[in-house]
Amino acid sequence: MDYIRAMTEKLHIVGGGMAGSEAAWQAAEKGVHVVLHEMRPKVKTFAHRTEMFGEMVCSNSFRSDDDEQNAVGLLHWEMRAADSLIMTSANTHRLPAGGALAVDRDPFAETITQKLKSHPNVEVSYEEVTELPDQGQWIFATGPLTSEALGAAIQKETGADRLAFFDAIAPIVYAESIDMSVAWMQSRYDKGETEEERKAYLNCPMTKDQYEAFIDALLAADKTEFHDGETAGYFDGCLPIEVMAERGRETLRHGPMKPVGLTNPHKPEEKAYAVVQLRRDNALGTLFNIVGFQTKMKYGAQTAVFKMIPGLEDAFFARLGGIHRNTFLNSPTLLDDQMRLKSKPNIRFAGQVTGVEGYVESASMGLLAGRMAAAEILGAELPVVPQDSAHGALIHHITGGAEAKTFQPMNVNFGLFRPVDGLKGGRRGRKDRYKAYTDRAKSVWSEWLSGQ
Ligand SMILES: Cc1cc2nc3c(=O)[nH]c(=O)nc-3n(C[C@H](O)[C@H](O)[C@H](O)COP(=O)(O)OP(=O)(O)OC[C@H]3O[C@@H](n4cnc5c(N)ncnc54)[C@H](O)[C@@H]3O)c2cc1C
């Protein structure tokens, strides 16, 4: 019976990038007939060069391969355990890169293309999809450069304010690494109905000298450039902080760093010259983003500059800031925990368009969407992805844990994981903590896979 259903109901996957390729592989391996729709080469993007599936558009690295001490390495491990096409192809075309997983990009994409095209359950259709169909099972994995026509169709369904075309990512700091003998919790003018709201922001004060030195560092820092074709319409309402600083040394003090309505309980007599505010980034309260600090400074420069902020001298960053052309949904409000569009549940989204960031994270969301859609077609929903796995931490974040109002793309990091009880906090306890997270994740992920 299941077999007959799988033979008759096709799964349509739109986009043959990291997520769509992985989703197609996972579903096809479960016995579901997949139609993979890819617009290249008919419609091009400014970043893709080839017509292959699984093309890496920029760097050739899948980042750290350390599955004990690194969250992305853990994601590799989980994907390998789930027979990931992206990971097996990466292993085949691995290049020496220390602890990182770097690959020879063209043979890597050729392997993915060849494996999908020769799979008996995969049919390929080279066409642009421009609508969200009412019928059939669909996964949209169209990535950060989703075509214009499809973007318009998605906005029609979700509302214009629920699909962004640029990200504006402020750096995110692990709460435990902030020096609370310097910083304090307070909302401006103590606004808010509840105590929690009145203490919603974390404040880092600056003296005049500290502010001037900070502005000098911002102005001098190395910046990244936009890729060709990436800039259209970017500056509306999300200026990088260094550009604000270029407009005048006082601009930030009258913008995101204004010191008004705040009293430092550590030094109540002293009026701060400027204040950097951080806001909770996840329901767990383990991550804080620096408000208004979207930036195009290079990563190395960001760490040096942001550690000049009093209270953040020893901060560790779950992610650094950036601004890119990036089409992504407000997933916390739009998607259910099976990655279905709540308003049209025959449609799933996967990959970067769901608000994860990076090759690996995108592929991992493809892996989940492919398995979920296949299970649905075969008449069985998958059990909920365990939250303590890396996949679970990510999907939980984008479909519920993240603050919907300020939602920005997220890469996998240990700040998304629920704490393990009884372990030492802070820098000293980090190694044991990360090992505990990864051990726990491997165990729950293996259990989840074995139940399928
Ligand atoms: C310029 C740039 C540089 C980047 N650099 C990096 C990096 O160095 N490292 C990193 O980890 N991540 C990087 N990223 C992010 C990267 O794009 C993602 O990590 C990853 O490729 C996303 O995978 P995906 O499958 O979601 O999207 P993609 O890999 O982009 O795949 C989406 C696919 O959908 C197709 N498509 C789009 N619209 C339609 C349509 N309407 N119909 C049919 N097909 C369609 C596209 O042609 C594409 O093949 C970069 C992104 C950009 C834009």
Q: Give tens-digit pLDDT for 360-370.
A: 999 999 999 99
Q: Give yes or no for a contact between 365 and 394, defined as CB atoms under 8 angstroms apart.
A: yes
* Ligand 1 pocket, residues with Cβ under 6 angstroms: 14-20, 37-40, 45, 47-48, 57-59, 128-129, 141-147, 150, 227, 325, 351-353, 358-359, 362
pLDDT of residue 315: 96
Taking the centre of ligand 1 as the mean of its atom positions, its distance from the CA of residue 270, in whole angstroms, is 49
- The span from the CA of 396 to the CA of 259, in Å, is 35
Whether 98 has a binding-site annotation, put simply, is no
Which domains does the chain carry?
2-166+325-450 (3.50.50.60), 172-320 (2.40.30)
Taking the centre of ligand 1 as the mean of its atom positions, its distance from the CA of residue 77, in whole angstroms, is 22
pLDDT of 358-411, one tens digit each?
999 999 999 999 999 999 999 987 899 999 999 999 999 999 888 888 899 999
Tokens of 129: 């999809």
Mean pLDDT, residues 291-303 taken together? 94
Query: Does the pLDDT at position 25 exceed 80?
Result: yes
Atom 33 of ligand 1, nearest CA residue: 15
Q: Between these two residues, 108 and 281, which has the higher pLDDT value?
A: 108
- Shortest CA distance to 163 belongs to which of 416, 341, 411, 18? 341
Whether 370 has a binding-site annotation, put simply, is no
Mean pLDDT, residues 399-425 taken together? 89
pLDDT of 341-360, one tens digit each?
999 999 999 999 999 999 99
pLDDT of residue 1: 47
- Shortest CA distance to 162 belongs to which of 324, 356, 14, 331? 331
Q: Quote the pTM value.
A: 0.90
Taking the centre of ligand 1 as the mean of its atom positions, its distance from the CA of residue 17, in whole angstroms, is 6
Q: Which residues contact 85 (CB under 8 A, 6 or more apart)?
A: 21, 22, 25, 26, 54, 112, 115, 116
Taking the centre of ligand 1 as the mean of its atom positions, its distance from the CA of residue 140, in whole angstroms, is 12
pLDDT of residue 236: 47
Whether 261 has a binding-site annotation, put simply, is no
- 228-232-238 Cα angle (round to 5): 115
